[in-house]
């Protein structure tokens, strides 16, 4: 007698899993259910397992697993044990098929595909639900020689199948409404999804199955398998799906499906996680959750029952929040991915701190930093037209001359502030008259962080160079 792993181990350690079919990348919705499973396992000091559902054998599941692990790594999630590939467990599944056959809980069905098609059409013509008519359930005759039979499970007839879903509540199905003697092994011997899922979930010792609610109506079928095999039935949580901003099903047209695309767009993993955990789940009014807070507060029981729409603005807001609060070192590290290397810059703190409240993504951050660090190659036309009249050029000229003869140290923003204020005082100028022309000279446009910060980042020598360059160009 084979028993479930849970029974063998004699443990009730919380065990959850993420069981994607191999698509080549980790889907953003998949990450959410994975996160829920992960948090629930870790919160209860349990195990979080990864299984690839590749009974179909069409795609490269090794690549797929690698892509998922890469995404897990990016967001800081880890799974326990080795990855399980269903494609490598066919022998195991076969043992259970034989077992059910031997016990009379499953049987060979010799109906051909054509035969079944005819039957189905007849049913549909009569507006009946298409279903297998169990013609071979109690077959005792001589089987036809030329067909490879499928194996079907003897499903209960006119019975209620009930379970308590951790999210949706009490579920009750009538077996006749939703299932027939469904196939557990195809004519080529390959077992089917609902059969192997139940076996694996059981053998892997799953206590809590957290998955998309598109599986809700598969659950009764799996329960039939659990019961035929004498396995313990885990607790199910069916989490509603994610919709696009228009409330429709999420599809590739809606933008980033692959979790790693979020990295490419400059999102911080903690922002993505924070966004996802709050999408369909809440803890009072709290919006910001650190990893430890997620662990502390998450409970699948208060996941919402209804689908939620994906809202990119809120993700941006969260990302901005995490950028504002990240350490300087962290941001410098993240910027490397966008080809900006400022760890050796002697004004790196200033660069980071002057931009962190302005960037919604790390990518934007890098772009903004580059406009300050790199000498402008062009000047924004509108800004030039608006702010660079003859008088402004004159002021800039005086400003350069002043700086050249200004002897006090001024590499800090405060140094530039003292110098500039003195200059304004001497020439009876207002900051408004000076700031925009300086910005244009420094970054080529009328938008930048505080001019003192910008001047300090660029440094006295380059400040002079950039102003003189602008004046020169202006006179041409």
Q: Restricting to residues 391-450, name those near RNA by CB under 7 A.
A: 431-432, 435-436, 439, 446-450
Q: Which is nearer to RNA, 91 or 313 (CB)?
A: 313
Residue among 361, 452, 460, 466 that touches RNA (CB under 7 A) = 452
Q: How far is the CB of 7 from RNA (least distance, A)?
A: 25
| Ramachandran category for residue 158: left, alpha or beta (phi over 0 → left; psi -120 to 50 → alpha) | left
87 contacts RNA (rule: CB under 7 A): no
Cβ pair 318, 274 in contact under 8 A: yes
Nearest-angstrom CA–CA distance, 6 and 360: 47
Q: How far is the CB of 193 from RNA (least distance, A)?
A: 3
Q: How far is the CB of 334 from RNA (least distance, A)?
A: 18
Q: How far is the CB of 56 from RNA (least distance, A)?
A: 4
Q: How far is the CB of 226 from RNA (least distance, A)?
A: 16
Nearest-angstrom CA–CA distance, 257 and 29: 8
Q: Which is nearer to RNA, 205 or 280 (CB)?
A: 280
Nearest-angstrom CA–CA distance, 343 and 238: 46
For 63, the token pair is 């690549």
Nearest to 33 by CA among 18, 48, 47, 15: 18
167-206 residues near RNA, rule: CB under 7 A: 168-169, 171-174, 177-178, 183, 186-188, 190, 192-194
Nearest-angstrom CA–CA distance, 196 and 456: 64
Residue among 66, 73, 248, 421 that touches RNA (CB under 7 A) = 248
Q: How far is the CB of 450 from RNA (least distance, A)?
A: 3
Q: How many residues does the chain have?
A: 476
159 contacts RNA (rule: CB under 7 A): no
Q: How many residues bind RNA (CB under 7 A)?
A: 83
Q: Which is nearer to RNA, 217 or 264 (CB)?
A: 217
Q: How far is the CB of 300 from RNA (least distance, A)?
A: 13
- The interface region with RNA, picked from 29-37, 76-84, 113-121, 371-379 by CB under 7 A, is 113-121
Binding letters toward RNA, positions 4-33, x by CB under 7 A: -----------------x------------
* Cβ atoms within 10 Å of 264's Cβ, excluding its own: 12
Residue among 260, 307, 393, 412 that touches RNA (CB under 7 A) = 307
271 exposure class (CB count in 10 Å sphere: 0-12, 13-18, 19+): buried
Give every CB contact of residue 424 below 8 A, 6+ residues apart in sequence: 430, 431, 434
Q: Which is nearer to RNA, 13 or 447 (CB)?
A: 447
Q: Which is nearer to RNA, 46 or 209 (CB)?
A: 209
371-390 residues near RNA, rule: CB under 7 A: none
204-243 residues near RNA, rule: CB under 7 A: 213-218, 240-241, 243
Cβ pair 307, 243 in contact under 8 A: yes
60 contacts RNA (rule: CB under 7 A): no
Residue among 25, 38, 163, 281 that touches RNA (CB under 7 A) = 281
Q: How far is the CB of 374 from RNA (least distance, A)?
A: 18
Q: How far is the CB of 381 from RNA (least distance, A)?
A: 15
Q: How far is the CB of 47 from RNA (least distance, A)?
A: 21
Q: Which is nearer to RNA, 228 or 455 (CB)?
A: 455
Exposure string of 291-315, with b = 16+ CB inside 10 Å and e = fewer, is beebeebbebeebeeebbebeeeeb
């Amino acid at each position: 007698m084979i028993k479930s792993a849970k029974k063998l181990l004699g443990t009730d350690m919380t065990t959850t899993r993420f069981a994607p079919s191999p698509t080549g990348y980790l889907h953003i919705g998949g990450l959410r259910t994975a996160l829920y499973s992960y948090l629930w396992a870790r919160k209860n000091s349990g195990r979080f397992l990864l299984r690839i559902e590749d009974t179909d054998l069409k795609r490269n599941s090794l690549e797929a697993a690698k892509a998922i692990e890469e995404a897990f790594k990016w967001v800081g999630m880890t799974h326990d044990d080795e990855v399980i590939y269903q494609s490598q467990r066919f022998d195991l599944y076969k043992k259970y098929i034989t077992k059910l056959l031997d016990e009379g809980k499953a049987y060979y069905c010799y109906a051909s595909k054509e035969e079944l098609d005819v039957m189905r059409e007849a049913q549909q013509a009569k507006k009946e639900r298409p279903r297998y008519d169990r013609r071979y359930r109690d077959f005792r005759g001589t089987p036809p020689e030329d067909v490879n039979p499928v194996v079907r499970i003897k499903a209960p007839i006119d019975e209620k199948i009930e379970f308590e879903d951790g999210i949706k509540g009490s579920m009750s199905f009538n077996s006749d409404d939703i299932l027939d003697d469904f196939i557990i092994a195809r004519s080529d011997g390959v077992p089917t999804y609902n059969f192997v899922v139940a076996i694996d979930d059981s053998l892997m010792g799953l206590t809590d199955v957290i998955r998309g609610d598109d599986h809700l109506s598969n659950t009764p079928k799996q329960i039939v398998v659990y019961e035929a095999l004498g396995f313990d039935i885990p607790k199910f949580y069916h989490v509603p799906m994610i919709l696009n901003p228009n409330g429709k099903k999420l599809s590739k047209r809606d933008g980033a499906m692959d979790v790693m695309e979020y990295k490419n767009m400059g999102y911080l993993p903690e922002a993505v996680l924070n966004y996802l955990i709050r999408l369909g789940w809440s803890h009072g009014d709290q919006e910001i959750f650190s990893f430890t807070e997620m662990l502390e507060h998450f409970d699948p029981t208060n996941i919402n029952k209804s689908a939620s729409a994906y809202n990119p603005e809120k993700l941006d807001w969260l990302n901005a929040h995490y950028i504002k609060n990240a350490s300087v070192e962290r941001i410098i590290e993240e910027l490397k991915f966008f080809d900006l290397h400022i760890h050796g810059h002697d004004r790196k703190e200033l660069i980071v701190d002057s931009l962190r409240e302005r960037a919604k993504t790390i990518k934007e951050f890098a772009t903004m930093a580059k406009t300050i660090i790199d000498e402008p190659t062009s000047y924004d036309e509108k800004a030039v037209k608006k702010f660079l009249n003859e008088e402004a050029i004159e002021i800039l000229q005086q400003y350069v001359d002043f700086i050249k003869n200004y002897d006090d140290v001024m590499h800090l923003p405060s140094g530039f502030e003292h110098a500039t204020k003195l200059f304004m005082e001497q020439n009876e100028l207002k900051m408004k008259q000076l700031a925009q022309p300086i910005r244009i000279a420094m970054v080529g446009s009328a938008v930048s962080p505080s001019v003192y910060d910008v001047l300090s980042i660029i440094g006295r020598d380059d400040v002079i160079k950039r102003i003189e360059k602008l004046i020169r160009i202006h006179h041409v």
